[in-house]
């Protein structure tokens, strides 16, 4: 059994980055909702960013305070190289979100297909404690997970599927659900994966 870091680093070392199941050539719902929720000067973090195109898309829109957190060194180095000319607008964190201890807080915390890998309730609670600690009051939590009619695993790892009731219950009253939508994401191999997107706003108290 490989550890989580080796697992993910190996994925990015051995698979074409545009062949992974979660690949997008342009960010879709995340991009639209971020533009509609925050200003380009607001601080945004993409947790488990992989080699996602989201940061590129946001930089094009003038965003200038983007943090990128990723476990895989291989993936993060790919992003650092690709986004080198915008490095002054970016902060990179090569670490496990469960150990994250930044010096600042964020207006929007984005997670596409990362939280759903946490199958142990203790890890889920650690993640949610980090989210609570480092997301500003009235900040946004934009989460995307596999839906109950979607895959049960990804990249040979079990995942937890979420619908509205399940994620709202897990968040325990500290967040208000603003909107949710299902997306049928086209896998590069031609199949379809069902994702749910949730936009939450952190309550004031
Ligand atoms: C399915 S990919 C999604 C990547 C990206 N969010 C996207 O939408 O393209 C999951 C990513 O989460 C990262 N990851 C998994 N567990 C993590 C953890 N505990 N802390 C930080 N990153 C993690 C993986 O390395 C991988 O890049």
Q: How are strands ordered across the β-sheet holding 44-47?
A: 90-93, 66-69, 44-47, 106-112, 135-146, 192-202, 175-186
Residues 6+ away with beta carbon under 8 Å from 43 = 65, 67, 104, 105, 106, 107, 108
Quote the mean pLDDT of the chain.
96
Ligand 1 centroid–CA 59 distance in Å is 20
Query: Is domain 4-202 annotated with CATH 3.40.50.150?
Result: yes
Confidence of residue 1 (pLDDT cuts 50, 70, 90): very low
Burial letters 104-137, b for 16+ CB under 10 A, else e: eebbbbbbbbbbbbbeeeeebebbbebbeebbee
Q: Which atom of ligand 1 is nearest to the CA of 11?
A: 25
If you take atom 19 of ligand 1, which residue's CA is the nearest one? 96
Mutate to test the pocket of ligand 1, among 18, 23, 67, 70 (most ligand atoms within 8 A of CB): 70
Per-domain boundaries in the chain: 4-202
Ligand 1 centroid–CA 175 distance in Å is 23
Q: State pTM to two decimals.
A: 0.98
> For 118-177, how does the pLDDT look when each residue is reduced to its tens digit (9 = 90+)?
999 999 999 999 999 999 999 999 999 999 999 999 999 999 999 999 999 999 899 999
The closest of 15, 116, 1 to 74, measured between CA atoms, is 15
Examine the pLDDT at 198 and tell me if it is beyond 70: yes
Mutate to test the pocket of ligand 1, among 3, 5, 8, 118 (most ligand atoms within 8 A of CB): 8
């Amino acid at each position: 059994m490989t550890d989580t870091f080796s697992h993910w680093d190996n994925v990015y070392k051995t698979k074409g980055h545009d062949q992974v199941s979660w690949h997008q050539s342009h960010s879709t719902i995340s991009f639209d909702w971020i533009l509609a929720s925050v200003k380009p000067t607001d601080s945004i973090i993409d947790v488990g960013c992989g080699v996602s195109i989201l940061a590129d898309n946001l930089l094009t829109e003038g965003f200038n305070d983007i943090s990128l957190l990723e476990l895989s060194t291989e993936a993060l180095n790919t992003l650092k190289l690709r986004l080198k000319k915008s490095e002054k607008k970016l902060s990179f964190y090569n670490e496990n979100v469960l150990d994250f201890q930044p010096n600042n807080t964020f207006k929007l915390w984005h997670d596409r297909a990362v939280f759903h890998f946490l199958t142990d309730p203790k890890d889920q609670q650690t993640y949610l404690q980090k989210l609570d600690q480092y997301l500003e009051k009235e900040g946004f939590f934009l989460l995307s997970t596999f839906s109950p009619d979607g895959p049960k695993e990804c990249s040979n790892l079990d995942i937890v599927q979420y619908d509205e009731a399940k994620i709202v219950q897990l968040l325990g009253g500290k967040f208000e659900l603003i909107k949710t939508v299902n997306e049928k994401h086209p896998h590069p191999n031609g199949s379809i994966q069902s994702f749910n997107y949730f936009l939450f706003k952190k309550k004031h108290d």
